[in-house]
Amino acid sequence: MLPPDAQSRAGVEREAREEAAALQARYGRLEPELVIELCIDRLFAEEIAVVSSFGAESAVLLHMISEIDRTLPVQFLDTGKHFSGTHDHREALVAMLDLVDVRIVEPDPDLLGTADPVGMLFAQNTDACCNVRKVEPMARAIAPFRAWMTGRKRYQSATRTALPVFEAVGSRVRINPLARWRAQDVDIYKTIHRLPDHPLSAEGYRSIGCQPCTKPVADGGDDRDGRWAGMDKIECGIHLGGLGRVLDAAPLRGSGR
């Protein structure tokens, strides 16, 4: 039999799975703006944030959010390995959209000093590098919230073709409002609202992460083919089981605002 704390956590995680499944069944086919408004105003009021990479397509979700609630906390994970263009793009979007609560999340300096003292861990162990620079900081950032939104979409890679709008991660709910959108939908939205491209998009970068592990994508490739190119790796861990395992040690529920 599981100890009481483990039983309690298992029960809360089961509730989160049931909640996400019910939300997916009821609201999973709504348009992204309606999903965002519903989540902010009714479902997770005061307990929701958005995680943004300020990457190639981030402007779309951030624009939608700014039209609904520009005070929503925006979590940006600064790994210390971003392209300078990503920081420039972030500053431009924050100013353009008047986002008032952008939170810069950084790796724990003690953990980083132990795991990657000279900053070259990416060349030796990409999973370990992602764990210390992405997974742990992101878990810490979203721990106070009951739910968070991402800009992931099904067309971005073969691993995301069944991506739901609502899904459970441990005791929390992750929302992907743009999951059902096509690349054409993103392009049309950006054109209508005159949203700026990431500075590297013109150079063939279609999914933009840390500089050492990101390359341009060849014509016809998946958006994420340029991430960890030539390696047996397609996700950093914050969208896979790694984040859930780190969150296991975090408070089950809480308010972030």
How large is the greatest C-alpha to C-alpha distance in the chain, in angstroms? 57
Note whether 121 and 129 are within 8 A (CB): yes
Note whether 149 and 176 are within 8 A (CB): yes
**Is 39 part of the annotated catalytic residue set?**
no
- Amino acid identity of residue 145, one-letter, is F
129, 210, 213, 236: the catalytic one is 236
Active site residues: 236
